[in-house]
Amino acid sequence: MGLDITVLIADWSWLGEAPVEERLSRLRDAWYEDETGLWDHDGPATDGGWEWPCGPHSDSFAAYEFPGTAGSFKAHFWAGEGWEKVREHADPLVRAELDTFLGRLIWQGVDGEGEDREDCGFFHDDPAISYGLLLSLSPDGVRELLTTWERVCPRLGGLREAYDEHAAVPDGRISDFGSFTRLLDNWGHVLSEASRRGWGVVGLSE
């Protein structure tokens, strides 16, 4: 449970200029770059939001800090656990859409395996090369998942009663239905910005 996550949106064409085995290191090098990168620099002024690099990569990628998470994966994990507890009480359409949405991003699935959270072929499939890669969505994958989110978002209110009864954890990272939907809304925000730019999404653990 000590896993962290950094969620970035990135220009796939910029990353695609590098050979497949060098694409993740290209993103990391720009992220860690002195003065113009993002690692260990001052983050957003508020608790959460976008952080954009300076210099030559300012139009190539950005990081999104989920409010209230301090970069930890815990909130995402517990959102998945909450969904696990409430999904059987959901409308079948909502269940199918959220299974896809959460399964592609943060949820391990009913059987613990979940969906493949890495777009095959873009990053190297050798974990020694693509170490720390938790998820990747191509621009096409971003648009598809954003469409899923836009379909299910207006229906989430119907889950409130079931969530409060079966999944609320008052002292937890995702304590109630509001916390659950806020985290999902933030993922929707990430997808929306990536889609607007025609970019992909990458989730990394360092």
Q: Where do the domains of the chain lie?
A: 6-204
Residue 201 has pLDDT above 90, yes or no: yes
Q: How many other CB atoms are found less than 10 A from the CB of residue 125?
A: 13
DSSP for 78-98, please give it: HHHHHHHHHGGGS-HHHHHHH
Structure tokens at 28: 């990391």
Calpha distance 20→44 (Å, rounded)? 31
- pLDDT averaged over every residue in the chain: 90
Closest CA to 169 of 179, 159, 158: 179
Q: Could you read off the pLDDT of 77-115 as tens digits, one per residue?
A: 999 999 999 999 999 999 999 999 999 999 988 776 555
* H helix runs in the chain, sequence order: 12-16, 23-32, 74-86, 92-105, 139-152, 160-166, 177-197
**Alpha carbon distances (Å) from 71 to 47, 57, 75, 205:** 11, 22, 9, 10
Calpha distance 72→93 (Å, rounded)? 30
**Alpha carbon distances (Å) from 101 to 119, 130, 144, 149, 171:** 15, 23, 10, 7, 26
140-147 average pLDDT score:
97
Q: What pLDDT score does 1 carry?
A: 45
Q: What pLDDT score does 85 carry?
A: 95
Calpha distance 147→88 (Å, rounded)? 23
Q: Indicate the helix (H) or strand (E) that contains 203.
A: strand 200-204
Q: What pLDDT score does 116 carry?
A: 56
Amino acid (one-letter) located at 15: L
Q: What pLDDT score does 117 carry?
A: 56
